[in-house]
Amino acid sequence: MNAAHGIAPAEAALPFAEAIGQFRAAHAAAATFTVRNPATGARLADVPDLGRMEAGHAIDLARKAFTGWAARTAKERCALLRGWHRLILDRQEELARLLTLEQGKPLAEARAEILYGLTFIEWFAEEARRVYGDIIPTHAADKRLLVLKQPVGVVGAITPWNFPNAMVTRKVAPALAAGCTIVLKPAEETPLSAIALHALALEAGIPAGVVNLVTTSRPGDIGEVLTASHDVRKLSFTGSTEVGRLLMRQCADTIKKLSLELGGNAPFIVFDDADMDAAVAGAIAAKFRNSGQTCVSANRILVQSRVYAAFAERFRSAVATLEVGDGMAPGTGVGPLINAAAVDKVERLVRDAVARGAKIVQGGARHALGGNFYQPTVLTDVRPDMAITGQEIFGPVAPLMVFDTDREAIHLANDTRYGLVSYFYAQDMSRIWRVAEALECGIVVLNSATFSSEATPFGGVKESGIGREGSKYGLDEYVEIKYFCMGGLQG
């Protein structure tokens, strides 16, 4: 073992091994937990298993750093964020490989995620200089009325394992641009990407204490510290609705500002006037990206009765060609699920659907590779009363449902407590407007499976969350609005 940074021999070839070793050395007194490759089960690294005391210390560091960071000009914060952006860009391939090793997604998807994550840093670096206030026409001759936007303060951020790079940059970049400091807790399954990003932020010159990282195998403990702290004035969380609901309750005593990006149950609607080739390709992308482990994955594929049989067969044929394997292997289209519990959940949902009358037309079982791999699966004859239509599948299983009328499609799409994204394929313009306006969700996507952009607001309605990330609206989540009334101004 390298005594300087505590790097074990097995970690030496790992991208950012030095940064991981330095982070562990900085917390030498802490216990550690092991991060494993979900494709092989191999140990990747041991990282500090920090607890309540360390989380409290991180909050204290963020509180002390806040005054100085908020006092910097927007131009200075912009320059530092741009420096972070450059360093990530220079080492994007290493970051992508690290991401695939700890998360499992195909390397091509990991590369795309690194570039996607970079867009948030670039966007919010520029937006730092556009936190504009207002001057309001006065109601009295001796008064002037102003609105100021000021940083909310210390931010607590909790990020998920399915996008361990982009979800970090999507929260850290706007917080820093607004003048906030941050305490970040990455998912215990994928902390290595966060450690690498943190190391590059420090290398870029972002002062110590502005970005603070807490790795842990006990997320509940850290969540309780963040939510109970009066010094933490905002919490941003991406994850399950169940955990989001708990964090929201815990924040009640300190009345924090909240951003919650929670679960989804996305409908993917294929109308009878759709371009069938485009709809099949879109359904493949929307369902099987990251092995179906995204909150915007197509969870229910609704197909109009006139084209149902044709779509089902073409879709099944396309799914049959998907290559399953280790994300680091060339040609892999579908990687492993994150852990054994995820495979168990998918297996349970498929078994329940089949017991209730659904038919397996493709896949439907654990993959021959074993471990955390599951076959890309297509189910037909799925009904709304099956568990698979009411829960986030978070796996490579596509349930197909049939509908007759536009009204029925809208009812089925909205018949969920979630409301993050809805996809639909159609050509008739009056149908397009009618459906888009009727869907109960934060994001509507027409004739496409891709939609995310740093310039557009991401977020849901109902139990899919509160607030928006990305875009000019995302920056507003990290500021408070202060009304300033100046009196006694005699002419």
Residues annotated as catalytic are 261, 295
- Strands (DSSP E) contained in 395-491 are 397-403, 421-425, 443-446, 465-466, 479-486
The Cα 409–Cα 423 span in angstroms is 12
Residues, the chain: 491
List of residues 6+ apart from 399 with CB closer than 8 A: 299, 300, 301, 353, 358, 379, 382, 386, 388, 389, 393
DSSP-assigned beta bridge partners for residue 185? 158
Please give the C-alpha separations between residue 305 and each of 269, 302, 381, in angstroms, as whole numbers.
Answer: 12, 9, 12
Cα of first residue to Cα of last residue in the chain, in angstroms, is 75
How many CA atoms are closer than 13 Å to the CA of 349, on its beta-carbon side? 27
CB crowding 154-173: b at 16 or more within 10 Å, else e = bbbbbbbbbbbbbbbbbbbb
The Cα 470–Cα 476 span in angstroms is 10
CB 251 within 8 A of CB 146: no
The Cα 210–Cα 172 span in angstroms is 10
The Cα 113–Cα 23 span in angstroms is 24
Contacts 24+ apart (CB under 8 A), 106-113: 106/327, 106/332, 106/333, 106/334, 106/335, 107/327, 107/328, 107/332, 109/289, 109/290, 109/327, 110/327, 113/163, 113/165, 113/166
Secondary structure element (H or E) that encloses residue 353, with its range: helix 340-355
Q: Is 328 helix (H, G, I), strand (E, B) or coil?
A: coil
The 8-class DSSP code of residue 374 comes to B
The two tokens of residue 183 are 């305490």
* Chain centroid offset of residue 408 CA: 31
Tokens 């004859």: give the residue: 381
Q: Which of 198, 187, 252 is nearest to 220 (CA)?
A: 187
Count other C-beta atoms under 10 Å from residue 228's C-beta.
14
Strands 421-425 and 181-185, sheet pairing:
unpaired
